[in-house]
Structure 1
């Protein structure tokens, strides 16, 4: 009788551990992730759903004015750039628009709107000196250097992440409170 109880307890313990491991490793939360490409390590993330928008704001290295890139998450888990805002036509900034896009000037700023540039992922090098790359979503403004070493190259993509990955990376929403 004791042997059956021990076997039963062992099976229950094994089942519990097996389920716990599955629970920890199965991707469950969709997020916009900032990944160090060389190590495939998630440095920071923000939970995000299709239709939600975010911006990346930075200071241009040459003319030292703000540039704001606006993005939306698509149903296909792509990142769609839909607007670009900047203050100077200097080196590195566009002076024409692609088909279907519109160019506007308002209050001393230039806007390219109606953009439909889609990416499965894109690479960003977090600025070392002046850029101050900042993730912006609604009232949240998070300087990326709080979670990413300046000068680090990161891959930005939409990905389902598991609980362990959530514990390893910085959740921008929680870190910003």
Structure 2
């Protein structure tokens, strides 16, 4: 009798724990002003991703490369084709500036962030997430114009059910 009561208590507790325990490492996209999960991209072994977008003034692609840790996002590289407004003209500190085949690179970047704020492009930007050599257009998963906060998170099964999974 005691065993049955114990199990009647333990099983729901265990199910609740499994349902709400944050175990899945993801690139999380949350509403910037609320923290509510909009979409997420489940990570495999690879901890690097890229954000590619079309610059609104010079209309050429910009590619930002990032590496994730548990709670940090480190920008490692920036690639672009035009020195127009808003683009850096040189590297800083230990960074390396290179030009290759008409593309400008800033490499060896070690800029660390807890999150990145982004407004999903409505007209020209066409923001894309590149992970494991596959490209995912963010406007396919989030309303264009949505202001999101990108972060490295661990989410629970419950949060996975609430957010939109970005996958191919």
TM-score by length of 1: 0.87
Equivalent position SS for 2:152:
strand
Aligned residues: 168
Residue 10 (structure 1) shift: 5.6
1:112 — aligned with what? 106
RMSD: 1.9
Residue 30 (structure 1) shift: 1.5
2:26 — aligned with what? 31
2:53 — aligned with what? 58
Residue 12 (structure 1) shift: 3.3
Deviation by residue 1:32-81 (Cα, 9 ceiling, x = unmatched): 1111122322112123378621000000001100000000113x531111
Structure 1, 109-118 or 47-56: larger mean CA deviation? 47-56
**Rg bigger for which structure?**
1
CA contact 2:46–2:132 (8 Å) conserved in 1: no
Return the match for 2:85 from 82, 85, 91.
91
CA contact 1:133–1:143 (8 Å) conserved in 2: yes
Structure 2 unaligned spans of 5+: none
The alpha-carbon distance between structure 1 residues 97 and 156, as it changes in their structure 2 partners (threshold 3 A), is same
Equivalent position SS for 1:16:
helix
Equivalent position SS for 1:97:
coil
Q: Is residue 134 of structure 1 aligned with residue 134 of structure 2?
A: no
CA distance in 2, matches of 1:69, 1:26: 32
CA distance in 1, matches of 2:79, 2:42: 25
Residue 148 (structure 1) shift: 1.0
Higher helix proportion (structure 1 or 2): 1
Q: Is residue 169 of structure 1 aligned with residue 163 of structure 2?
A: yes
Residue 107 (structure 1) shift: 1.1
CA distance in 1, matches of 2:84, 2:105: 14
Residue 9 (structure 1) shift: 5.1
TM-score by length of 2: 0.91
Structure 1 unaligned spans of 5+: none
